[in-house]
A and B are shown apart, each in its own frame.
Chain A
Amino acid sequence: MQFTIEQINKLAPDDASAKAGRGLAINSKWQLRCVHDKALWGDCQGSGKTPYRTIVDLTNLAFKCSCPSRKFPCKHGLGLLFLYTDNPSVFSAETELAPHVAEWIDKRVTKAESKPATEKIPNEQTQQKRVESREKKVTDGIAEMRMWLKDVIRTGIINVPQNPYQFNQNIIARMVDSQAGGLANQLRRINQINFYKEGWQKALTKQLSRIYLLTESYNNIQSLPVELQSDIRTLIGWNTAKQEVLATAGVKDEWLVLAITLEEENNLKTERIWLYGIETKKYALILNFYVGAQTQAHAYIVGGTIKGELVYYPSQMPLRALFKDPVEIKSSFQIPSINQNIQELLNEVSIQLSQNPFADQVPYILNPVKVYFEKEQWLIVDNEGKILPLNNNTAECWTILAITRGKHLNGFGIYENEAFKLLSLWQDNQYNSIS
């Protein structure tokens, strides 16, 4: 398995760990450095007398260390991997795993093969009561939300930019109380509108009317197709139990990790892992949430692949997914060989909206396209001369232009609100993360 510095950096739970890890990528820090087809292991001299024993599972990337750090992977695991990437010749090649390494690897294999423990499910009656109680709360909340939306539109939105970040705070809090977290999130998206830039009027009206239509759909949910019902319930804030999803049939493929993004709001980090099936040519999105100091619980490598079975959450246009069984993480670099232009992207948007009018994010690979700017606006243009506004921030746009040097690019991004946001691109056989 060959890693790049950027890939290892992305594995770090935070910048400090990555930096500390690089500080440990020094030969002299490691009393023992061994490599085997299946694992890397080493003893790192810390501040105590006994060195920390660090292992990296190379077959299915994972870390283990005897240090007391709660971070995963810890700086020693990262340091060992950095050192191996930087200078593999200092590792002694072993034909057999050391006993403690073999024990850990065996345990991992056994665990992977055993079936996951089933969660304790409350009895049906209690569950039913809970659902009914929540339904009532949500219905009451929706009624309040519709009232609020009507009030806003009756008086007009012209004065909203005077107080753009406060005008929806009470109704957001009300939706949280009503256990309609999805609606609260829809309302929060209003705060992402740039009220200092022309165009806010359309963006705000669009979002307000979209939320209203969503509440209308929820009120008439029984008349909709089953898959669309799931989409609407999810957008309102209902969760589909993981067990339920895992019980459905999966899609086996080698999944290319297109991009991993992390957003933080109110002490909650939302991680989005965008995947693309090399055989099935399907996109998938894995959502992870971390609270407070929680860090990522996976070792996926951007630009690399994951071999495994994905199960999609029920949806008219399935996108959100989960891995069904333990997966095989590969750092082998892959470039999607797709030629798609902007017209094809917009056709796809059309299809998605016809299936689910609330589809707001469409993942797509555009190739070949160029990035340029005109009249202070950043644009993406394809070979047919069709353009779309680029939704990245200015710093990211300059980075994209620098990486591509004005040449064509092969990039993955998200279509949203009539613009495209590039999250990653492949240039000169190299993967580049933009987010």
Chain B
Amino acid sequence: MQEDIIKTALLGTGKMPLKASSDLEDFASRIIARQEDKEDAFLKYAGLAFIYQESGLEPAEGTSSIEECAAETLKELNSNINQYLLDALQAKDEILFDYLIFRAVQARKVAPAAIVPKLLNKAIEQKGKADKILPVCGELGKWLCSMNPEWKKISEKESETANWETGNHEERQRFLKALRLQNPSEARELLIADFDQENAANRTDFIDLLETGLSLQDEEFLMKCLADKSKKVKESALQLLRILKDSLINKSFVNHLLKVILIKEERQLLILKKKVLHIDTSAVLPDEILQYGIEKVSSQKGVDDNFFQLAQLFAYVEPAVLVQALNTEKEEFFRLLTEHPQAVLLQPFLTEAALRFKDNLLAEKILSMDNSFNSKLLELISEEQKNAFLDNYIEQHLIAVLDILLDNRYQLLQHNMAERIIKRLAINPYQVAQPVYQRLALALPASLIKLLEAHANDDANDYQKRYFSNQAATMLRYIELRDRLHI
């Protein structure tokens, strides 16, 4: 019945005349007998037929194949927190959202069911946050992910989707990285087997991945790569060989350094003896070393080419190797290095070495030098030392200091440090953006509320003060909100 009506409707009564169903033949003939025209008859008949069909509609049969979701093992967040979470999602307040998720994970609680789909959508939008969001979605989140193809992607672990044979380049990189962590030799052999079939960009990316679990067993393959047609592949291989301890290239760097540096005792004030580090800055780097990617011409102002070439070697040699060869102590060697008259020129290369070989002591010594601020070096030292350094950097490197302090652990700042930061920001409030103020508020101790209230109530007309007054009011709101959350 319906098919005939729809056919006529699609093609028009001009081309396809009305064909009445046997069920409604009587009605159809009465309609046709009194029709104004074909269209009048069709529209009346169609209207009647649809009502007739719907009046006798019988439901189809089916069975739900969905299994029930497992019960939650964790407690649910209270309704207040849920509302803040929803507000943060709707207002796209990333600072508040991240904080609430952090607190929920910390408290081992899950979001209520109605919010979970929204959280999963958020995890899709911002994949970087998926790991933090998923625990808050609980068993329900896992259950929903198993059924929704879009959400399924976020719940699968990276290694689960990665496949060397059929994956795309990113998936193959993930696969190789994961294998390299577990079994470096197997990863290398797998790479060697397909290496020639890869394009230059892929070859470069895969070689870079070998830095994970790098060992002397990789040297042979990396040496072969030095003969690759691609300049980038060669550079990547060379970079690894330069830092690979006991490799031919690395050994040549160590040997040369040991030839030109010497720890000797110097007499001071005629009586006292003091150890000093002597570096033969006139020594010329042999061509066999220069060919391993050492810059020949100094890029630093006022630094002699010879010394610049030599200084680069420090970046590739593990400090512990030199310490052992010079038969000294780390503490002493680093002190001598940083007290050397040309230590400032060595500083960037020593920093590179400290970061590359994760040498905490060297990092600490470099940070003690003037103008040595480096946020990555700070990550190598202890929390206590870090705070002491950061306190000193507030005046000159406030933005970087805030970047380090406001990490994803949401620890409260010490009162004095927080007060100095606020005072600094009050002088030049535009140096950080509004989200930084919101994030800072979550780290401010309640003891600063009075100071913030004073700024918030400041009626000054100066545009900077007005701006900071608004920011102070915002920070107060965030602090109140943080302190009211009883998760």
Contacts and interface: CB of A to CB of B under 8 A. Distances in A.
A195 B55 CA distance: 25
Interface in A299-318: none
A106 interface: no
Contacts of B55: 349-350, 353-354
A381 B63 contact: yes
Interface of A: 4-6, 9, 15, 19, 22-23, 26, 28, 86, 146, 149-150, 153-158, 201-202, 204-206, 208-210, 212-213, 216, 342-343, 346, 349-350, 353-354, 357, 370-374, 379, 381, 385-388, 395, 398-399, 401-403, 405-407, 418, 432
B183 to A, nearest CB: 41
Given A150-B39, A398-B148, A5 B54 contact: no
Contact of A205 (B9, B51, B56, B140): B9
B6 A201 contact: yes
B124 to A, nearest CB: 12
A418 B114 contact: no
B443 interface: no
Contacts of A209: 42-44, 46-47, 50
Given A210-B50, A386-B60, A402 B10 contact: no
B116 to A, nearest CB: 5
B67 interface: yes
A374 B117 contact: no
Contacts of B5: 205
Contacts of A374: 62, 65
B83 A402 contact: no
Which 3 interchain pairs have the tightest Cβ spacing?
A: A156-B12, A209-B47, A213-B47
Given A201-B9, A353-B55, A405-B69, 8 more contacts: A150-B43, A156-B16, A210-B50, A350-B55, A353-B54, A373-B147, A386-B61, A402-B113
A279 to B, nearest CB: 30
Contact of B42 (A153, A204, A206, A388): A153
A406 B67 contact: yes
Nearest to B60: A387
Interface residues of B, number: 59
Given A153-B43, A209-B46, A398-B117, A372 B59 contact: no
B226 interface: no
Contacts of B56: 350
Task: Please indicate which of the listed interface residues B39, B59, B84 has the most CB atoms of chain A within 10 Å of its own CB.
Answer: B59
A6 B55 CA distance: 38
Given A23-B477, A154-B39, A402-B113, A346 B10 contact: no
Contacts, number: 159
Given A9-B83, A153-B9, A370 B64 contact: yes
Contacts of B274: none
A28 B480 contact: yes
Contact of B62 (A354, A385, A407): A385
A357 B51 contact: yes
A346 B68 CA distance: 28
A161 B82 CA distance: 43
B48 interface: yes
Contacts of A387: 59-62
A205 B40 contact: no
B79 interface: yes
Interface in B42-99: 42-44, 46-48, 50-51, 54-69, 79-80, 82-84, 87, 90-91
Contacts of B51: 213, 353, 357
Interface of B: 2, 5-6, 9-16, 37-40, 42-44, 46-48, 50-51, 54-69, 79-80, 82-84, 87, 90-91, 113-114, 116-117, 140, 143-144, 147-148, 477, 480, 484
Nearest to B116: A402
A287 to B, nearest CB: 24
A398 B59 contact: no
B60 A212 contact: no
A26 B480 contact: yes
Contacts of A385: 61-63
B80 to A, nearest CB: 6
B59 A386 contact: yes
B44 A213 contact: yes
A15 B14 contact: no
A78 B11 CA distance: 58
Contacts of B480: 26, 28
A406 B80 CA distance: 26
Contacts of A370: 64, 66
A19 B68 contact: no
Contact of A399 (B42, B64, B87, B114): B114
B6 to A, nearest CB: 5
18 contacts: A150-B43, A154-B38, A156-B15, A158-B12, A209-B47, A213-B44, A213-B48, A213-B51, A346-B57, A346-B58, A373-B147, A381-B64, A385-B63, A387-B60, A388-B59, A395-B117, A406-B64, A406-B69
B68 A407 contact: yes
B12 A155 contact: yes
Contacts of B37: 150
Given A205-B6, A213-B48, A353-B51, A155 B43 contact: no
Task: Please indicate which of the listed interface residues A157, A209, A418 has the most CB atoms of chain B within 10 Å of its own CB.
Answer: A209
Contacts of A201: 6, 9-10
Contacts of A395: 117
Contacts of A146: 40
Nearest to B70: A405
B12 A22 contact: no
